[in-house]
Structure 1
Amino acid sequence: MNDPVIIAGAGPVGLLLACELRLLGVETVVLERLERPREESLGSAMNGGTIELLEQREVLDAIRADGFEWPLAVFSGYPLAPDQLTERHGSTLIVSQSAVERRLEEYALKLGAELRRGHEITGLVQDEASVTVTVRHGGTDYRLAGRYLVGCDGSASTVRELAGIDFVGEEQPFHGLIGDIEVDPGDELLNHLGPESTAYGPYMLSPVGENLLRIAMGEYDAEPPNRDEPTMDEVRALAERMTGRPMRTGRARWLQRWYNVNRQAVSYREDRVLLAGDAAHVQFPLSGMALYTGIEDALNLGWKLAADVAGHGPAGLLDSYHAERHPAGARSLRTSLAQVALVHPADRVAPLREIFAELVRLPQVNAHLSELICGFAVQYPIAYPEAAAHPLLGRRLVNAPLATADGETTVARTLRGARGVLFDLSDGQLRLPDVSGWADRVRLVTAGPSAEIAASAVLVRPDGRVAWAGPADGAATPDEGLTAALETWFGPAATA
C-alpha cells in the first residue's frame, strides 16, 4: 500500500470520509479502537439536511430501508413544518446510528477501504511529506505511515490531543439519560411519543424499531450522581419526576448518560493532521445538527484530500476545509446553545416561549429555523473577480429533477461519483467554453431549463456546493468566471 490516507474512527463521519476517498481512488485505512461495531445507537434521527447530503451518494438507499420518514423538524421543542419551505427538501428520517454505521461500513468495504477494528492510535509524528502513527493492537505496537491523518475519533479525540489542537468551550451542569427500551405491543408508553419541554429539561420518546422506544431526557443544572452505566430504576425515577407520569413498563436494551458539552477545535488542520465530526466540534444533541455538521465535514474534506493526493489540487484547496467548515461548525454550536437558552431556566423563559410559539407559526420564521437546523442557510463565501456575484454561489444546489437526453435524473444522482458537475441547463444552446481539460474531474451534464434553478449553467463541487453560476436569462456566452472557478476548485486543465 502506497501513502494511504489514515482515518481514526469508524463512526458515521469516518466511514463516510473513507467512502469519499475510495470513490476517488485514494488508498484508505480506517483504524477503530473498538473491537466490534456498536450495537447501541446514540442518534436516532437524520434531519432533512443530512438526508440531502447522503442523497448525493448511493448509500442513502440502503440507509432509508432501515428507517422511516417523519415529516417534522423540531427547534427547542417547537415542531416545524419543513414541507412549507419554498425549495424541495427531505423529511426527517428516523433510523438508528448503528444502522447508519453498518450501511456506511458495507459501502466503504465494497469500495475497497481497509477497516482495522481493535487498532488504537497512541502516537504520531509528521513531516513535510507524511504522517506516521503508532498503533496498538492485541498488546503490541506497530507503525503506519500515510499522506494524511484525519481524526474522526469523537469528542475525546486522541488524534486531536496528539496533534496539540486546543478544544475550547465548556461543559454546563446537566444530567441526561438516553437508551432504548423494549415494550410490549399496546404498551402505555406508546401513548406518549414525541418531544416534551418540562420544567427540568428535554424529554423525548420516539420509536426506533418494532416495540422499541428511544428515551432521551435530562435535567439542567444537575450533576450526574456518577459516570457509571445508568440503571432502569434511574430512568424510571427521572422520567416520573420530569413528566409527572409513573413509568412502570419497559425493559432496557442499553442505557447511557449524556452531558451538555459545547466545544470546538481552534483549528481543523495541523499540517498533515485534520479533524472532522465530533473530534472537531461537539454540541448539545438537538435537532440532528451534530450528525449533519459532521457529515458535511466529510463531504467537504474528502474530494479536497483526494485532489491533493492525486497531485492536481490547486494551492489553498485543502486550507479551504477549515475556512469553510470552522464557521459552519461554530454556527451549529451557537444554534444548539440558542435552543437550550429557550428552555432553561424554565420559569424565566416561560414568557419568551409563549411569544416564540406565536412566531414559529409565521411561514418566514418556520422557514428560517428549518433552514438553520438543517444547514440549508449555510453559504460559503465564494467569489471571482472575473464574474458578478450570483446568489447561488456557495450554497448547496437544490435537488431538482433534470430532463437530459438520457432520460430523467436529479441533481443529487449526477453527483454520486463524487466528482464535480457542470450543468448546462439550456439543452446545449449556450456557448460554453471548452471544459474538456477537466473531464477527469468534472462531468458535463446537459439538460433542459429548470424552474427550480435560477441559472442557465451551474458548476457544482463534489460536495454539492455551487462554485459558479451563469445568468438566469440564458445569455449567449455565460463564461465569465467559469474558467477561474474550474482552476480554483479543480486545478489546471489537463494537457494532451
Structure 2
Amino acid sequence: MDASVIVVGAGPAGLVLAGELRLAGADVIVLDRLRERTGQSRGIGFTIRTAEILDQRGLLSRFGEIQTGPAGHFGGLPVDLTVLGAPHEAARTVPQSQTEAVLEGWARELGADILRDHEVTGLTEDERGVSVTVRGAERALRARYVVGCDGGRSTVRRLAGFDFPGTPATTELLLADIRGIDLEPKMTADPSAGGLVMVAPLPGGTTRIIAAERGAPPVRRTGPPDFSEVADVYKRLTDTDISTAEPVWVSAFTDTARQAARYRRGRILLAGDAAHVHLPAGGQGMNTSVQDSVNLGWKLGAVVRGTAPDTLLDTYHDERHPVGRKLLSDTRAQSLLILGGEEVAPVREVLGELLEHSQVARHFAARVSGLDIRYDVGGGTNPLLGARLPELSLLRQGQRITSTALLRSGRGILLDLSDNATLRHRADPWTDRVDVVTARVLRTDGEGPHAGTSAALVRPDGHVAWAAPGSLHDLPTALGRWFGPAR
C-alpha cells in the first residue's frame, strides 16, 4: 500500500479530511489535478458551526483578524444569530483561497502527503484495497480506502459508479470579484425587482458581485463568462455601470440540486461537493463539506488503525446524508424565495411574520448556522445526546480550560463533571483512544442544555455520544460503538 487512504481533491473538504486522518494516526496521500491552488475566492465565510470546528482544532486563530457578524439570512430574509448565544459569530469575508492556504499548511504540518498535478483517470477496487491510476504515472497507487473530495464534477464519483440523482439547472447566476470601484453592500431579492443583486466587500479592496435576472435560463458554457456579461446584467438590474472595474475572478453557477444516493460504496467514499451540489445560497456549501470531512476523518482513521470495525464507516452515510438532503431542501427553498416572482411574495410575507416569533427565529438561526445538527447516537433523554457539545468553561486541576480546547488532539473525550471514580473505571479499557477529563463547569446561571449533566462522552467531531444522568451500564456500550472494542 502507498497509503492507508488516498484523498482525491485538495479543496477544503479534502484538506480537512487529510488533517483529520493524520490526527487519527492514518497515513494519507492527497491527489489534486491542479499544479497549484487556484487562488480564487469562491466560498467567502464560515457558519458558526464551522467556526467552532476550526477552533476545536486550533485553526481559527491562524486566519488572523476576520470580520464576523451577528446576522444571517434565509432566502434574503434576515435571521438574527444572537438568539443562539453561541461563543462564535459567522465569518463573512474569508475568501476560500485563504481557507485552503491555512488548511493545506495544517495538513502538511501533520504529515499529509499532498501531490499536485496528479489527475486521477481510473479506479479499481478489490477485497484488499483500491488501485488509483494517475495520468502520466508509471504505476497505479494503492490504498485501503479512497475518498472523493473532487468537487461537483467528481471523477471519483463517476468512475466508481455512484448514483447522483436530483434536479437539473433552471436558471443561472453570474459572479464577479472586482476592484477599482466603490459599491455599497446590499442584497436585493424582492419579488418586485428584476432579479437578485448581491454586493459584499472582501479583503484587499475587492468587492463581490452576484447578479441574476429572474427567469434567465441556464447557459451551456465551456468556460467562465466574460466580465462584460456580468456588467450588463448588473446595469439592467441596478442602473449602475460597473464596466470600468477590474475583474479579479468571474464565474457562473446554477441551481442544480443533486446528491449521491450513497456516500459509501465499499472502499470508496464521497465527501463535500462530490456528494452534493446545490445553489450556494447562504454560503452553506463549503461549510457542509468541511463538516462532512470532520465526521468521516476520525471514523476512517480508527478503521485503518484497526481500533474500530469497518462498519463504523456506515455511520458516516447514516449521519451526513440526511444533513446533505436538508441542505438541498434549504437551498431550493431559498432559490424560490430569492429568484421567484410575484407568486412567492405571499410566502415571503408569511415567513417574515413567522420570523418575528422567538421560537421560529431560533429555529432558523440554528438551521442556517449548522447548530441544529443532531445525530442518532442511541437512547437517552439528555438534550445533549447527538448534538454538538456547546463550549464550556471548565476548571481542571486548578487551571481554566474550555471544552473546545480539549478537542484539539482529535481524540474522544469522557468529560467527568462530578469526580466519579466508577465512571472513570468503566472507561479505563478505552483510554488509549479516549481522554478521561475530570473537571467542573465554571458557570453559575444553571442554564443551557448542559445543565444537570454530570458526564458526557464526546466524539472527536465534538458531538455527544453518551451523557449522564443515565445508566453507567450504557457507557461501555457507547464507547464500544464509537471507539471500537475494549483494549
TM-score higher than 0.5 here?
yes
Aligned equivalent of 1:162: 159
More displaced stretch, 226-235 vs 435-444: 226-235
Aligned equivalent of 2:288: 293
Identify if the C-alpha distance between structure 1 residues 2 and 226 changes in structure 2 by more than 3 Å, giving closer, same or farther.
closer
1:327 paired residue among 280, 298, 322: 322
Distance 2:310 2:45 in 1: 38
SS of match in other structure, 2:308 = coil
Distance 1:313 1:230 in 2: 48
Distance 1:466 1:260 in 2: 35
> How far is 1:363 from its partner?
2.1
Distance 2:125 2:310 in 1: 20
Aligned equivalent of 1:193: 185
SS of match in other structure, 2:39 = coil
1:153 paired residue among 150, 175, 182: 150
Aligned equivalent of 1:369: 364
> How far is 1:226 from its partner?
5.0
Identify if the C-alpha distance between structure 1 residues 154 and 278 changes in structure 2 by more than 3 Å, giving closer, same or farther.
same
Q: Structure 2: which 5+ runs fail to align?
A: none
Aligned equivalent of 2:334: 339
* Counterpart contact for 1:182–1:212, Cα < 8 Å: yes
> How far is 1:301 from its partner?
0.5
2:436 paired residue among 444, 449, 454: 444
TM-score calculated relative to the size of structure 1:
0.92
* Counterpart contact for 1:268–1:276, Cα < 8 Å: yes
* Cα deviations by residue, 1:425-460 (Å, 9 ceiling, x for unpaired): 12x256414122211110111111354423110000
1:465 paired residue among 449, 463, 483: 463
Aligned equivalent of 1:219: 213
Aligned equivalent of 1:284: 279
* Counterpart contact for 1:136–1:142, Cα < 8 Å: no
> How far is 1:119 from its partner?
0.2
Aligned equivalent of 2:89: 90
Asked if 1:117 is matched to 2:116, the reply is: yes
Asked if 1:171 is matched to 2:162, the reply is: no
Identify if the C-alpha distance between structure 1 residues 124 and 107 changes in structure 2 by more than 3 Å, giving closer, same or farther.
same
Q: CA RMSD in A?
A: 1.8
1:44-443 matches, cutoff 5 A: 44-63=44-63, 65=64, 67-137=66-136, 140-183=137-180, 187=182, 189=183, 192-198=184-190, 199-227=193-221, 228-247=223-242, 249-314=244-309, 316-384=311-379, 388-426=380-418, 428-429=419-420, 431-434=422-425, 435-443=427-435
The one-letter code sitting in structure 1 at the alignment partner of 2:338 is V
The one-letter code sitting in structure 2 at the alignment partner of 1:408 is R
> How far is 1:66 from its partner?
6.0
* Counterpart contact for 2:69–2:89, Cα < 8 Å: no
The one-letter code sitting in structure 2 at the alignment partner of 1:153 is D
Identify if the C-alpha distance between structure 1 residues 86 and 210 changes in structure 2 by more than 3 Å, giving closer, same or farther.
closer
SS of match in other structure, 2:297 = helix
* Cα deviations by residue, 1:410-429 (Å, 9 ceiling, x for unpaired): 12111111110011112x25
TM-score calculated relative to the size of structure 2:
0.94
Distance 2:75 2:238 in 1: 17
Aligned equivalent of 1:24: 24
* Count of residues paired in the alignment: 477
State the percentage of identical aligned residues: 42
The one-letter code sitting in structure 2 at the alignment partner of 1:314 is P
> How far is 1:135 from its partner?
0.5
* Counterpart contact for 1:203–1:215, Cα < 8 Å: yes
* Counterpart contact for 1:314–1:488, Cα < 8 Å: no
More displaced stretch, 312-321 vs 428-437: 428-437
> How far is 1:345 from its partner?
2.3
Distance 2:213 2:387 in 1: 37
Identify if the C-alpha distance between structure 1 residues 35 and 430 changes in structure 2 by more than 3 Å, giving closer, same or farther.
same
* Counterpart contact for 1:393–1:466, Cα < 8 Å: yes
Distance 1:358 1:491 in 2: 49
Identify if the C-alpha distance between structure 1 residues 416 and 220 changes in structure 2 by more than 3 Å, giving closer, same or farther.
farther
Asked if 1:493 is matched to 2:486, the reply is: yes
> How far is 1:364 from its partner?
1.7
SS of match in other structure, 2:256 = strand
Distance 1:404 1:183 in 2: 53
* Cα deviations by residue, 1:392-414 (Å, 9 ceiling, x for unpaired): 11111112222211522212111
SS of match in other structure, 1:484 = helix
Identify if the C-alpha distance between structure 1 residues 73 and 126 changes in structure 2 by more than 3 Å, giving closer, same or farther.
same
SS of match in other structure, 1:256 = strand
> How far is 1:332 from its partner?
1.0
> How far is 1:362 from its partner?
2.3
* Counterpart contact for 1:3–1:145, Cα < 8 Å: yes
Q: Structure 1: which 5+ runs fail to align?
A: none
More displaced stretch, 118-127 vs 370-379: 370-379
Distance 2:46 2:318 in 1: 25
The one-letter code sitting in structure 2 at the alignment partner of 1:210 is G
* Counterpart contact for 1:183–1:213, Cα < 8 Å: no
> How far is 1:90 from its partner?
2.9
* Counterpart contact for 2:83–2:365, Cα < 8 Å: no
SS of match in other structure, 1:266 = coil
SS of match in other structure, 2:170 = strand
SS of match in other structure, 1:16 = helix
